[in-house]
Structure 1
């Protein structure tokens, strides 16, 4: 499977930044593979670092939007029927539902940092008819740091870019969790701030 994805990415490389966005729109293509590879392309001089991060972050929103739409317009029966095509199982959906009930709309942000929830979290957001602009905003600010780290690791590792996923797995909690908690706290603080007349 990984070999087929790499062939796809090689074909999409000719589309430059749009190719990165397009690859990430396909939910079955793991960002853990695409983003370090984009960083390697930066290392090779084919792309700009900031352009690759921006393209990756936008693509990281477009992919979840497909699952959001599936949840919003198809409901649970449609998700159970077609979720497998997005590598989303019923177990993922149940975990995401429970996470959504606990944290509300903020899961569009916080859920991106939780293994077993991050992919399917868009579905309960859609089923709850969460405001789409809030969904896009929360998803983007979650994807930006994740994308930045993966692309940067791919850039720094150069020909060893395939080790980026392993490194990220070792240090993800130290790198991403503090960012997630700070931003989530800021969102909660803003929501609870009393409105002045």
Structure 2
């Protein structure tokens, strides 16, 4: 479905079902469909906040949108987290050799990730609207971050993210502007994902080229 249709569907569902649609949208985005998650709290802020002053909008955005949306997002993110947590090692051990990646190397990265700073990484990246949430959930699961710490710090990151986005939606006050910003965020999220894939691909390509070079040097020695 094109982004225009996704935005229209989200607006229609939130208009009909309110906060329930917001929470369900966050669950669907985390688990099934690659819907740019910033669109949901922005649309909710546009449709559900009836405040006429900023202080009133702040209170409504926090309790009506940020809290329930963040709870739904974090709980549903355990789906991707769990797949990566329990399925990451078997997959890497079975198919990692084709990408020149071993589970021992993943464990080495896990030791760095488990330095005590991982919770801050999770909170910071979850608070950035253009970072795809599934990347964060999957990475935390693959590196076997403690599930309680993951949940707490994911929530800490999601609350300001959803709160600010809801206020932006309220402040915009125009469906046309909402669509334009949604398109911009979608493009930026796609760019982040592409950069992440290219970065991983570049590392794999470099290591493959290095192995081939070393093999040729060994044969000609």
Report deviation, 1:66: 2.1
User: How many residues in Structure 1 have an aligned counterpart in Structure 2?
Assistant: 152
1:111 partnered with 2:125: yes
Corresponding residue for residue 37 of structure 1 = 43
1:81-96 matches, within 5 Å, as: none
Report deviation, 1:148: 0.6
Counterpart-to-counterpart distance in 2, 1:166 and 1:7: 12
Flag as ranges the 4+ runs of structure 1 deviating above 4 A.
76-79, 113-118, 163-168
1:134 partnered with 2:135: no
Runs of 5+ in structure 2 lacking a partner? 52-59, 93-105, 186-221
Corresponding residue for residue 61 of structure 1 = 74
TM norm structure 1: 0.61
Corresponding residue for residue 17 of structure 1 = 19
Query: Is the Cα contact below 8 Å between 2:27 and 2:72 reproduced in 1?
Result: yes
1:149 partnered with 2:164: yes
TM norm structure 2: 0.55
Query: Is the Cα contact below 8 Å between 1:39 and 1:150 reproduced in 2?
Result: yes
Corresponding residue for residue 161 of structure 1 = 178
Report deviation, 1:35: 1.3
Greater Cα radius of gyration, structure 1 or 2: 2
Query: Is the Cα contact below 8 Å between 2:38 and 2:162 reproduced in 1?
Result: no
Deviates more, 1:134-143 or 1:103-112: 103-112
Counterpart-to-counterpart distance in 1, 2:9 and 2:80: 22
Query: Is the Cα contact below 8 Å between 2:127 and 2:160 reproduced in 1?
Result: no
Query: Is the Cα contact below 8 Å between 1:67 and 1:120 reproduced in 2?
Result: no
Query: Is the Cα contact below 8 Å between 1:111 and 1:121 reproduced in 2?
Result: yes
Corresponding residue for residue 3 of structure 1 = 4
Deviates more, 1:66-75 or 1:139-148: 66-75
Runs of 5+ in structure 1 lacking a partner? 80-93, 169-197
Counterpart-to-counterpart distance in 2, 1:58 and 1:105: 17
